[in-house]
Amino acid sequence: VSQRLQHTLRSGDMVARLGGDEFVLVLSGLQSQEHMLPLVVKIQQSLSQPYFLSGHQLQVTPSIGISMYPKDSLSIHDLLRHADTAMYSVKTGGRNGYSFYDSSMDVTTKERLELESIIRTGLDQQKFFLEYQPQVSGDNQQIFGVEALLRLHGKDGLIPPDTFIPVAEETGQILALGEWVLREACMQAKAWQDMGWKPVVMAVNISAVQLQRIDMVALVSSVLAETGLAARFLELEITERVIMGDSAELIDTLEALRTLGVRLALDDFGTGYSSLSYLKAFPFDVLKIDRSLVQGISTSADDLAITEAVIALGRSMKLEVLAEGVETPEHVRILLEKGCKHMQGYNFSRSLSPAALGKWLMPN
């Protein structure tokens, strides 16, 4: 990347690597955004070309934030800070682009920093907690499992998971957070069993960052031993996007988890770009149909056709099929008619506190 930047820039321009994957460019003689754009596009094109390293072809794309002197500031420190703010605006907007600094971005940056701080201190300050949503058989509404769902208290109420989880992944906080969720969920499942309540499978979501950066097999093995929960009562949910790399290392990890006796579920199926080869290659036990498809089965012929196809696919491959986002009796009727009896959604129950799950788990 350094070499490509140097070859792209003009004589007299400066490029430096700040650390990690961040570079700063100091470009002189560009009087306006219009003058800047041809060079920005040239940099994008250069960095986006494939990289060939040790026989592997890699692809990366840049997120570029730009501040301009003297319009944005007379201070070197502020110019750097503003460019950084603009860069994070690009990242949160989907990456692979550029953005010129605007003062309105400071509000977004401040909110982002506050959220990072809440996440960083959340475990110590007990701002994180788990709720559990029942997974039931649609024909008799008997519970067979629960999904552990992470919640976070903010200063103005609960912060949605789709807001704080991506930030936790970007900052690496998801590693400590994910370990806490796994341990807490396993402890809770064992506590219910020790109370004489109905034993159910505990489903826990696993982040791509966790699979990439830590030894999940060692962690899961340690947590099961520590909590005393039998492996057959733990199910790890992995989203469809995580397996897109189709790497041998990931397959080995999942096979090792299966060897422990843990169940594996492919989450959000039908929303990504996977092919049937993924289902053949990876050792899954459960196929979860994404809520975005399920919620349309009573109104959209396309959603119904895709859902029916996924159910048939899962059954033909001897996988359990579970539908998420089941919100109405009509959803239940259609899914049962199409051969899917395992369900989860507001038609049966929202996510509940451990105590509130008593009505589902207590004997009789």
- Please give the full DSSP string across 58-106, using - where no structure is assigned: E----EEEE--TTTT-S-HHHHHHHHHHHHHHHHHTTSSEEEE--TTHH
Give tens-digit pLDDT for 148-202: 999 999 988 999 999 999 889 888 899 999 999 999 999 999 999 999 999 999 9
Over range 229-234, report the average pLDDT: 97
Q: What angle do CA 146, 149, 152 make, to 5 degrees?
A: 155
In contact, 181 and 204? CB cutoff 8 Å? yes
CA separation, residue 51 to residues 56, 64, 222 (Å): 8, 19, 39
pLDDT band at 227 (very low <50, low <70, confident <90, very high): very high
Rounded Cα gap, residues 229 and 234, in angstroms: 8
Q: Is the predicted pLDDT of residue 54 greater than 60, yes or no?
A: yes
More confident residue, 338 or 213: 338
Rounded Cα gap, residues 323 and 307, in angstroms: 9
In contact, 275 and 307? CB cutoff 8 Å? no
- Pick from 242, 16, 21, 237: which is nearest to 145 by CA? 237
Give tens-digit pLDDT for 307-355: 999 899 888 889 999 999 999 999 999 999 999 999 999 999 999 999 9
Task: Indicate the DSSP class of residue 261.
Answer: T
pLDDT for 278 equals 67
pLDDT for 244 equals 66
Q: Is the predicted pLDDT of residue 35 greater than 60, yes or no?
A: yes
- Pick from 350, 329, 333: which is nearest to 341 by CA? 333
More confident residue, 20 or 217: 217
In contact, 153 and 127? CB cutoff 8 Å? yes
pLDDT for 105 equals 82
Give tens-digit pLDDT for 123-136: 999 999 999 999 99
Cis peptide bond prior to 160, omega within 30° of 0? no
pLDDT for 68 equals 94
pLDDT band at 281 (very low <50, low <70, confident <90, very high): confident
pLDDT band at 268 (very low <50, low <70, confident <90, very high): confident
Rounded Cα gap, residues 242 and 246, in angstroms: 9
- Mean pLDDT over each residue of the chain, to the nearest integer: 90
pLDDT for 228 equals 97
pLDDT band at 89 (very low <50, low <70, confident <90, very high): confident
pLDDT for 288 equals 93
Over range 241-257, report the average pLDDT: 79
In contact, 334 and 311? CB cutoff 8 Å? no
Over range 89-111, report the average pLDDT: 83
Question: What is the phi-psi region of residue 12: left when phi exceeds 0, alpha when psi lies from -120 to 50, beta otherwise?
Answer: left
Write the DSSP assignment of 29-64 as a string of letters.
S--SHHHHHHHHHHHHHHHHS-EEETTEEE----EE
pLDDT band at 270 (very low <50, low <70, confident <90, very high): low
Over range 250-272, report the average pLDDT: 87
pLDDT for 79 equals 93
- Pick from 285, 289, 235: which is nearest to 262 by CA? 235
Q: Is the predicted pLDDT of residue 272 greater than 60, yes or no?
A: no
SS3 239: strand
